[in-house]
Each structure stands twice: as C-alpha cells, then as structure tokens.
Amino acid sequence: MATVSLKKLTKRYGNIEIVHGIGLDIADREFIALVGPSGCGKSTTLRMIAGLEEISAGSIEIGGHVVNDLPPRSRNISMVFQSYALYPHMTVRENLGFSLKIAGAAKEDMDRRVAEASAILGLDTLLDRRPSQLSGGQRQRVAMGRAIVRDPDVFLFDEPLSNLDAKLRTQMRTEIKKLHAKVRSTVIYVTHDQVEAMTLADRIVIMRDGHIEQVGTPDEVFRRPATRFVAGFIGSPPMNLHEAVIDDGQLVFTSGAKLPLPGQFKANVAASDKVVFGLRPDDIYPTGHGISSGGAAEVHQIELPITVTEPLGNETLVFVEFNGSDWVSRMLNPRPLRSGERVAMSLDLSQAHLFATETGKTLRS
C-alpha cells in the first residue's frame, strides 16, 4: 500500500505561480480531501500527483518512491474525473477492462477483475451498454469501477460528484464512503463542496491561493479553524464573522454594537487590537432553542429583531439584526416567528472564535 508525500510542491505557468511550495504527508489508507474555492490550486495539485501536470519544483513521493518525472501509467494510481471521461466508443465492460487490456492481462484474469468491480458497484446488468446509454449516476459508477479494476495504490478523485443532482450526490457520497471501507486504498479527493469533504475525509486540507491554510480532521477544522478563511469556508450556513476592536475588555464592532470579550481570549489580546469575531450559527439561538453546551456561564443574553426566517423542518435559520449587521442563527425545535419580532437570543461566547484582522490567524492559544 502507499503513503503519499508532497514536499515543497510548486507549480508555475510561465511567471505565474499557482501552487506555492506546499507540503503534505498522507498516511497509507487515509482518505484526504483537498478543499477550497475555485482557483485555489487543489485540482492542479491533484493533477501533479497524477502526473498529468509537470511539477515546477519540489517533489512527490508515492509509497516512498519519488515519482516526479514518471508518466501517469508508472505511478500505479487511478483517477476519477469530474467529467467521468468514459471512453464513448467502448461498452461498459470494455471501459472497465481497458487498463487491463493495455497491461496485457490474460482474458480470464480480465473477466474476473471486471466481474469483481462490477459486483462491488452493481454494474452487472449494464456491462454491454455504452456510456451514452447510461444515466449520470451510472456513468459515475462506471468511472469508479474503472478506477477499482486497476487495484491502484492511490485513488484520485477530481470533483467526482459535481455533475450530479443534489439527491444523487448524497447517494453517491455514501457509495464512495462504502467503497473506501471495502478497498482500503489511499484516497485523495478534490472538491469545492465542504459538506463532501467533511462527510468523507479522515483529514481535510483547506487550500487557498495555492497555499495550505489548515490540515486537520473534520472536527478540528470545524471546531478549531486556524484562520479566518477556514472559519468562513467550513460550516453551513457559514460562521458569523464581524470585525471589532478590543476596548476595555469588550469587543466593539464596527457597527457600534458591543459584546463582552470571551474569557478564553483575554490573555491573547491587548486593548485596541483589531480582531475578527466569529460565532457559528449553532452557538447563537433564540433562548431555549439551542444546543445546550457546558459553558453556561459564558452565554450572553440579548434581545434582537428578526429580519428573515428560513424554516427547514427540524430547524429554522433565523436571521437577526445586531446594530445594523446581519447575523444568522440556528433554532432547534422551532416555533413560528414573524419578521420584525424581537426575540431573546443566547450567544454562547465560550464557542466564539477570534482572528487577528491583519494576518487572519486565530488568536486561540
């Protein structure tokens, strides 16, 4: 099996540097998600690992061997493309068996491995069809089957679910998770969808502008975001982030609103520091309708007017106005609310985040 290790990996197109010397160690059988907005360099990184892009500097090791200059076929990887990239002139069976045919495998061996892969993915009845006769989800499965058949050291997924509709995406997400449980290969999964990253990965790598912002388990990146960017990127709806200045042990927001400085940050900030205050929608709720947390002492009570509500059945997203700025809160066991109504809100400041405005780095020690 295979570990993957990126060392000072850099990609330049002419004078423009796209990936700035990133480093990452991926354990054997680990499921890693590379996530970030468009243009952050995540796909380029994946394509460099695949060998489809040349690297400008640094090195890539797969299973302890440097593969910098090896062609894709010599890296024992397989890749699932966003577009599926099925060969349209071949049947599903031929698509699945193509890599084995190229490798010159014996007919029986080929049939057996195609049968195994199609059994895992439920493709048995589709083997003689062509890609054009398949639905989106089926094509996606064939693409995964083609990857499995090769029995690679590393699976690379390049936004494999972004062409599917919402329902199918959820379904295929589960299938990918099951698949990883079965084949136990190392997986590198690129997505711009943080929900996919959170649900699938053992560890998430959040990228931005060709840099790695944070690497951590889904829980870590959610609960302890290292930067303001990560805080805003992970979580849906996104964290409330508002600029403030420290004044006399209080947070004074640009709008003029004030909140007490959460206890956990008192040692790390000084007066007149410029900070960004962050609070997840889960930690701000109409009193009595939140996730109860331990730090009751840090819950701040305040009455705020409602601007809009978005009922989702089991919960309602409540948008409130706090001195002219919009904050989103999550209300569990919802009761009907009218816009304009003033409600008592609880802000659990023990869960709050503070980031330095200038660097964007967390002020948590």
Partner 1 sequence: MDENSSARLKRRLLDIVYRIGLFLAMLTICLPGLWIVLSSLRPTVEIMAKPPVWIPQEVSFDAYVAMFSGIGKGGIPVIEYFRNSLIISVTSTVIAVAIGMAGGYAFARYRFRGKSGVFLGLMLTRTVPGIALSLPLFFLYVRLGVIDTHFGLILAYIALNVPFTIWLIDGFFRQVPKDLAEAAQIDGCTRWQAFWQVEFPLAGPGIASAAIFAFLTCWNEFALASQLTRSVSAKTLPVGLLDYTAEFTIDWRGMCALAVVMIIPALTLTFIVQKHLVGGLTSGAVKG
Residue 345 binds partner 1, judged by CB under 8 A: no
Minimum CB distance to partner 1 smaller for 98 or for 233: 98
Determine the length of the chain. Answer: 365
Number of residues that bind partner 1 (CB under 8 A): 32
Candidates 59, 125, 135, 287; binder of partner 1 (CB under 8 A) is 135
Q: How near is the Cβ of 50 to partner 1 at its closest, in Å? A: 6
The reply on whether position 280 binds partner 1 by CB under 8 A is no
Question: 12-36 as b/e, with b when 16 or more CB fall inside 10 Å?
Answer: eeeeebbbbbbebebeeebbbbbbb
Give the DSSP H or E segment for 116.
Answer: helix 107-121
Q: Between 123 and 246, whose beta carbon lies closer to partner 1?
A: 123
209 and 341 in contact (C-beta within 8 Å)? no
Cis omega (within 30 of 0) for bond into 237: yes
Q: Listing from the earlier edge strand, what are the strands of the sheet with 57-62?
A: 16-26, 4-13, 57-62, 65-66
x/- site string to partner 1, residues 154 to 193, per CB under 8 A?
---------x------------------------------
- CA 196 – CA 169 distance, rounded (Å): 9
**Residue 38 CB coordination number (10 Å):** 7
Considering the complex, what minimum distance in angstroms separates the CB of residue 130 from partner 1? 6
Q: Are 177 and 192 in contact (CB under 8 A)?
A: no
Q: Which residues ranging from 92 to 121 are in contact with partner 1 (CB under 8 A)?
A: 98-99, 102-103
Find the shortest distance in angstroms from Cβ 136 to partner 1: 4
Which of 52, 195, 337, 363: binder of partner 1 (CB under 8 A)? 52
- Residue 32 CB, shortest distance to partner 1, in Å, is 18
Site of interaction with partner 1 (CB under 8 A): 50-52, 71-73, 77-79, 81, 83-89, 98-99, 102-103, 130-136, 139, 146, 150, 163
